[in-house]
């Protein structure tokens, strides 16, 4: 019997080609699209992104793709789940002086958890779930476990966002685009009558929200330098992140200054020069290991502190339960609490955690 794959269809070229490739491999393919935008909700986006009123156009485009490929298409309402698990988390983190990465939470709690569960509750049967993520997945026969690797196209690799996936989740997933470059995906789309979707702009990730809709728990406070000297006033710590330069309104500074620390207890922001942004150590917690930590302890591996940053050599030392000290051989710029650090052994994703 043909295996059935449910494909997360966003209306973009990547998910469209993902579905196409699976059809060519002989799978029975159905398409599913999440509905997460709540126009009556309290959170309003500041710019276009995956969350916002543009969702109706995204669903319309997904329906067009499904029609072209002649596959069934389902729209799944996940507004409440998205608010509870992603939006509230996002707001709470910013109000606590941290910089969250909601895309990571959305992937493992919404796309690869709530969405799949709701499909099953609605009686939509399938054997695998697939998305257009650029990442490779393998089953390690020797160790009897699934392994994630960076995509062939390193400029599009999205493995960073998937480090929290469990073995149970990985066992149900397919990522057909991991072995293709973006240009190859575009060519396949054009050759298959999906050229209208190639022209679409790249989908935007989760954007920052208009902060007038965020409760400012602390109010205004001092901006100080590394010696404690007051340089100015900030508008609320939830409007700043480590490495930020814009919006500080500091006058008379000989060098550019950046946010290097956010203290929610004192309601203070510390600023410094580019040199002050550099750091060689951090503490990670709330970790998830795809490869057991015991197998990589005391090894020199790579750590990546944000999606677009270059991974650097590092060594991990356990401190206490689920807390790890990470030491880099080369200083990293703007290590940011609330962001994720993801570990690699060359192109193999080992795991990751939240920067404390």
Distances (CA, A) of 198 to 13, 25, 64, 131, 176: 6, 22, 14, 17, 18
Fold of domain 217-272: SH3 type barrels. (2.30.30)
- What pLDDT, on a 0 to 100 scale, did the predictor assign at position 201? 65
- Residues for the chain: how many in total? 356
Fold of domain 4-198: Rossmann fold (3.40.50)
Distances (CA, A) of 55 to 58, 84, 139, 201: 5, 19, 35, 14
- What pLDDT, on a 0 to 100 scale, did the predictor assign at position 271? 97
CA distance 230 to 343: 38
- What pLDDT, on a 0 to 100 scale, did the predictor assign at position 214? 58
- What pLDDT, on a 0 to 100 scale, did the predictor assign at position 119? 96
3-state SS, 49-102, equals CCCCCCHHHHHHHHHHHHHHHCCCEEEEECHHHHHHHHHHHHHHHHHCCCCCCH
User: What distance lies between CA 340 and its chain's CA centroid?
Assistant: 9
144 phi-psi bin (left φ>0, alpha ψ -120 to 50, beta other)? left
Instruction: Write out the two tokens for 305.
Output: 């502190």
CA distance 10 to 13: 9
Calculate the CA dihedral of residues 52, 54, 57, 58 and round it to 10 degrees: -50
> Is 11 in contact with 56 (CB distance < 8 Å)?
no
**Torsion over CA: 33, 34, 39, 44 (sign):** negative
186 phi-psi bin (left φ>0, alpha ψ -120 to 50, beta other)? alpha
**Would you write out the chain's pLDDT as a tens digit for each of its 356 residues?**
789 999 999 999 999 999 999 999 999 999 999 999 988 877 776 666 677 778 889 999 999 999 999 999 999 999 999 999 999 998 889 888 899 999 999 999 999 999 999 999 999 999 999 999 999 999 999 999 999 999 999 999 999 999 999 999 999 999 999 999 999 999 999 999 888 888 776 665 555 555 444 566 678 999 999 999 999 999 889 889 999 998 898 988 889 999 999 999 999 999 999 999 999 999 999 999 999 999 988 788 999 999 989 999 999 999 988 999 999 999 999 999 999 999 999 999 999 999 99
Q: What is the CA radius of gyration of the chain?
A: 22
- What pLDDT, on a 0 to 100 scale, did the predictor assign at position 219? 85
Please return the burial class of 101, using the count of CB atoms within 10 Å of its CB with bins 0-12, 13-18 and 19+: buried
CA distance 229 to 341: 32
CA distance 135 to 14: 12
Tell me the H-state helices in 1-73: 13-24, 55-69
Q: Could you tell me the residue ranges of all domains in the chain? A: 4-198, 217-272, 278-355
What homologous superfamily does CATH list for 278-355?
Answer: Translation factors (2.40.30.10)
Count of Cβ atoms closer than 10 Å to residue 4 Cβ: 15
From the list 36, 47, 31, 161, the residue with the least C-alpha distance to 87 is 36
Distances (CA, A) of 2 to 25, 26, 92: 10, 7, 45
């Amino acid at each position: 019997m043909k295996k059935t794959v449910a494909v997360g269809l966003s209306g973009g070229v990547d998910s469209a080609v993902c579905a196409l490739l699976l059809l060519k491999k002989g799978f029975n393919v159905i398409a599913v699209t999440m509905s997460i935008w709540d126009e009556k909700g309290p959170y309003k986006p500041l710019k276009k992104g995956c969350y916002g009123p543009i969702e109706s156009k995204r669903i319309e485009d997904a329906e067009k793709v499904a029609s072209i490929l002649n596959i069934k298409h389902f729209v799944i309402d996940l507004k409440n789940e998205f608010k509870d698990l992603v939006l509230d988390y996002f707001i709470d983190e910013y109000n606590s002086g941290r910089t969250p990465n909601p895309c990571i939470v959305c992937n493992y709690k919404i796309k690869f958890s709530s969405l799949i569960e709701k499909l099953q509750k609605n009686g939509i049967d399938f054997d695998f779930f697939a998305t257009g993520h650029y990442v490779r997945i393998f089953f390690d026969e020797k160790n009897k476990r699934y392994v994630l690797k960076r995509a062939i196209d390193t400029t599009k690799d999205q493995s960073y966002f998937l480090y929290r996936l469990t073995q149970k989740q990985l066992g149900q997933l397919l990522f057909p685009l991991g072995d293709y470059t973006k240009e190859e995906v575009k060519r396949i789309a054009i050759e298959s009558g999906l050229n209208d979707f190639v022209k679409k702009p790249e989908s935007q990730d989760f954007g920052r929200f208009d902060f007038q809709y965020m409760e400012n728990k602390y109010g205004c406070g001092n901006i100080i330098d590394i010696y404690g000297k007051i340089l100015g006033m900030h508008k609320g710590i939830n409007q700043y992140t480590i490495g930020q330069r814009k919006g500080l309104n500091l006058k008379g500074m000989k060098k550019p200054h950046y946010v290097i620390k956010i203290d929610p207890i004192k309601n203070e922001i510390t600023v410094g020069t580019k040199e002050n942004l550099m750091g060689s150590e951090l503490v990670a917690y709330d970790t998830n290991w795809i490869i057991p930590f015991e197998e990589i302890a005391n090894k020199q591996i790579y750590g990546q502190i944000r999606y677009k940053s270059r991974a650097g050599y590092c060594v991990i030392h356990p401190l206490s339960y689920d807390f790890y000290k990470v030491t880099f051989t080369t200083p990293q710029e703007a290590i940011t609490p609330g962001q994720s650090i993801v570990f690699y052994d060359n192109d193999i994703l080992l795991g990751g955690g939240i920067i404390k």
